[in-house]
Structure 1
Amino acid sequence: MKKTIGIVGGMGPLATCDLFRKIVEITDAGSDQEHVRVCIDSNTEISDRTAAILSGGKNPVPEMVKSSVRLQGMGADVLIMPCNTAHYFYDQITPYVDVPFLNMLEETAREIKRRGIGTVGLLATDGTVQSGVYKKVFDAEGIRMLLPSPENQKHVMDVIYKGVKAGNMSIDLTGFYRTMEALFESGAEVLVLGCTELPVAFDLFHIEKPNIDPTLVLAAAAVRFTGAKVKEEIGY
Structure 2
Amino acid sequence: MNQKTIGIIGGMGPLATADLFRKIVTHTQATCDQDHLHVIIDNNTAIPDRTAALLRGGEDPLPQMQKSARMLESDGADCLIMPCNTAHFFHAQVQSFVHIPLLNMLELTCQEMQRRGIRTAGLLATNGTVLTGVYAAVAEKYGITLLTPDDAGQQAVMDMIYRGVKAGAAVYDTAAVEAAALRLQQQGAEALVLGCTELPLAVERYHLDFPAIDPTLELAKGAIRFAGGTVLD
Per the normalisation by structure 1, the TM-score is 0.97
Pairwise mapping of residues 68-217 of structure 1 onto structure 2 (< 5 A)? Answer: 68-217=69-218
Whole-Å separation in 1 of the counterparts to 2:129 and 2:149: 13
Tell me, in whole angstroms, the C-alpha distance in 2 between the residues paired with 1:27 and 1:230. Answer: 5
Query: Structure 1 residue 51: deviation in Å?
Result: 0.4
Q: Secondary structure at the match of 1:2?
A: coil
Distance in structure 2 (CA, Å) of the matches to 1:138 and 1:50:
20
Deviations, residues 75-132 of structure 1 (Å, cap 9, x unaligned):
1000000000000011111111010110100111111111111110000000000000
* Alignment-mate amino acid for residue 94 of structure 2: I
Counterpart Cα distance in 2 of 1:93 and 1:227: 24
Counterpart in the other structure of 2:12: 11
SS of equivalent residue, structure 1 residue 96: coil
Percent identity of paired positions between Structure 1 and Structure 2? 56
The total of aligned residue pairs comes to 232
SS of 2:96's partner is helix
Q: Tell me, in whole angstroms, the C-alpha distance in 2 between the residues paired with 1:194 and 1:46.
A: 19
Per the alignment, residue 29 of structure 2 pairs with 28
Counterpart Cα distance in 2 of 1:173 and 1:205: 7
Structure 1 residue 208: deviation in Å? Answer: 1.9
TM-score (norm 2): 0.98
AA in 2 matched with 1:54:
L
Q: Structure 1, unaligned stretches of length 5 or more?
A: none
Deviations 1:143-173 (A, max 9, x none): 0111000111000001100000000122211
Which 4+ residue blocks in structure 1 deviate beyond 2 angstroms? none
CA–CA separation in structure 2 for the residues paired with 1:119 and 1:93: 30
Displacement, 1:10? 0.2
Q: Which runs of 5+ in 2 are unaligned?
A: none
RMSD: 0.6
For residue 174 of structure 1, what is the amino acid of its counterpart? A
| Cα separation, 2, equivalents of 1:145 and 1:123 | 10
Question: Equivalents in 2 of 1:120, 1:170: separation in Å?
Answer: 27
Distance 1:181 1:109 in 2: 21
